[in-house]
Amino acid sequence: MFMVIGKVLGKVNAGRQRIEKFAKAYSGVLFAGLLLLIVLSVLRTSLFGEVSEEKRIWFELSFLLLAAILAELLVVYLKQPTVMTLLIVGVAISPSMINLAYPFVASLFASAGLTVAKSIHFVTIQGTINVFAQLGAILLLFKIGLHSEVTRVFNAKNLVVALVGVVVPFLCGYYYAEFMGHSFVYSMFLGAALTATSVGITVAVLEEFKVLGKEFAQVILGAAVIDDILALLVLSLVSGAQTGFEIGPLAYLIASALIFVIGGIYLGQYIVKRHFDSMLAGTIENKTFLLILAYVLAYAYVAEYIGLSAIVGAFIAGITLNFSKNTGKLFSLFYPLEAFFTPIFFISLGMLVDVNALAANLLPIAVVTLIAIAAKIIGCGLSALATGSSAKDSLIIGIGMAPRGEIALIIGLFGLTAGVLSASEYAVIASMAFITTVITPAILGRLLAQGSSGKPSAGN
């Protein structure tokens, strides 16, 4: 009897062992299959359904970061700067590109007997994503400010490059629009849009090629910051084109900008040397990091409040922290934030492109874009050459000042919302801003890859 029971128990144990072995072998496959079903279900709802913003943001952030990883991989194959690849990825997933391509994809599915949704949603560039993109630009310019000394950024040469780099593009844009028979107001707005310089793209390329210490890089940085201030002064003038020019607001903007830049540097120098220097001397605590981050964002806010760009404020904050002897630690400390937010900034710039507007206004966009690039090369490049830069470095400076980016978009959007620009006129300005932003990294990358005669800036 005991032998029979033993045989039965043995068979039971053997069967249990086989079941356990089977479960171990296939449980992973089972759970992977269930996970895949969940992922596909989430993707289907996220791409084709309506999801509330507070839930959708996590999908959008994951999608953007995966797109940034894809861009990093494409850099190897395209042999272009990372910034340009991020912009191209942004164009590929932009709403206008998706809306253009999706009907063809839907028709292919329909021909196969499959029903698809009428629209698809990847990433929106409003709301939280826009805030994250702005944070990326702020962190990028803050880090560039950390690389810079005030005397290398704000000097007579950079002022000359910036002034000529504003006057020449404005006159070129204004007289081109007048020649083509456009209204006085559009001519003024086009001229104003051509004065702007979006330095975020250029400095990212300069950093990638490790030439931020060169004199031409410091000229670009200083002239671009001065350019930003001058462009907003031009916008202040242009905005009064219909109602009449008023000296009061313009004088207030000039005074506010000067007080902020000069006073901000002196005040920041005192704060950094008196407080931050000792905090950065030892191990940096969490409260120190948060305090410095709040300091940077405060500068960004004040800059926006007085009518400048937040990135100018972040750049000034970075320059003030350069007065400390211990700022080297901040580069590694802020790197995780930069790695997260900065790719979102560049991809979001690419997503601003309107493919339909490009197609509908191809000739005027091409002409205005050529004028925009040539005007900066002539204005900034020749003035740099006249003030002592080599021919190669002067060309790099002119090309580096060519991106119009978000500053020109702001000027164009101001005219559109004020009702003085038509949709097609705004499309020309917006498309010019995007194209100059996209092609600059490629041209600049080729020039930098060939080497330059640029000597290290004084102080390096």
Angle between helices 405-417 and 199-208 (to 10 degrees): 170
Supply the range of the domain harboring residue 175. Answer: 128-449
The counts of H helices and E strands in the chain are 22, 0
Q: Per 3-state DSSP, what percentage of the chain is helix, strand, and coil (rounded to 5)?
A: 80, 0, 20
pLDDT of residue 459: 46
Tell me if 216 is assigned to some domain.
yes
As beta bridge partners, residue 202 has: none
DSSP string, 342-357: HHHHHHHHHHT--HHH
pLDDT of residue 37: 60
Q: What is the tally of structural domains in the chain?
A: 2
Residue 325: give its domain's CATH number: 1.20.1530.20
CA distances from 409 to 414, 433, 444 (A): 8, 7, 22
Distance CA 309, CA 395 (A): 26
Taking only the tens place, the pLDDT of each residue in 148-166 is 777 777 788 888 998 999 8
Residue type present at position 44: R
Q: 326 and 204: one domain?
A: yes
- Spans of the chain, pLDDT less than 50: 2, 8-9, 459-460
Tell me if 116 is assigned to some domain.
no
Tell me if 15 is assigned to some domain.
yes
- Of the three residues 111, 145, 168, the one that is the final residue of a domain is 111
Tell me if 119 is assigned to some domain.
no
Which residue blocks in 282-361 are alpha helix, DSSP H?
286-305, 310-321, 328-351, 355-360
The answer to whether 379 touches 168, Cβ cutoff 8 Å, is yes
Q: 350 and 410: one domain?
A: yes
Cα torsion angle, 165, 171, 174, 175, sign = negative
DSSP state of 79: -
Tell me if 68 is assigned to some domain.
yes
Angle between helices 423-449 and 199-208 (to 10 degrees): 20
Q: 322 and 430: one domain?
A: yes
Q: 47 and 135: one domain?
A: no
Q: 153 and 79: one domain?
A: no
Distance CA 438, CA 435 (A): 5
- Of the three residues 111, 139, 155, the one that is the final residue of a domain is 111
Q: 54 and 168: one domain?
A: no
Q: How many CB atoms lie within 10 A of CB 432?
A: 29
Q: How many CB atoms lie within 10 A of CB 76?
A: 8
pLDDT of residue 273: 86
Distance CA 145, CA 137 (A): 12
Q: 231 and 286: one domain?
A: yes
DSSP string, 117-163: -S------SSTHHHHHHHHHHHHHHHHHHHH--HHHHSSHHHHHHHH
Distance CA 32, CA 35 (A): 5
- Of the three residues 83, 111, 139, the one that is the final residue of a domain is 111
Nearest of 210, 67, 36, 39 to residue 129 by alpha carbon: 67
Helix (H) / strand (E) containing 459:
none
- 159: which residues sit within 8 A by CB, 6+ positions away? 222, 223, 226
pLDDT of residue 67: 83
Q: 322 and 207: one domain?
A: yes
Distance CA 66, CA 350 (A): 16
Please name the residue that has the structure tokens 């191990």. 283
Q: 89 and 195: one domain?
A: no
Q: 288 and 381: one domain?
A: yes
As beta bridge partners, residue 214 has: 456
Q: 181 and 94: one domain?
A: no
CA distances from 442 to 44, 80, 249, 386 (A): 36, 6, 39, 26
Tell me if 118 is assigned to some domain.
no
As beta bridge partners, residue 456 has: 214
Q: 392 and 355: one domain?
A: yes
The answer to whether 434 touches 406, Cβ cutoff 8 Å, is no
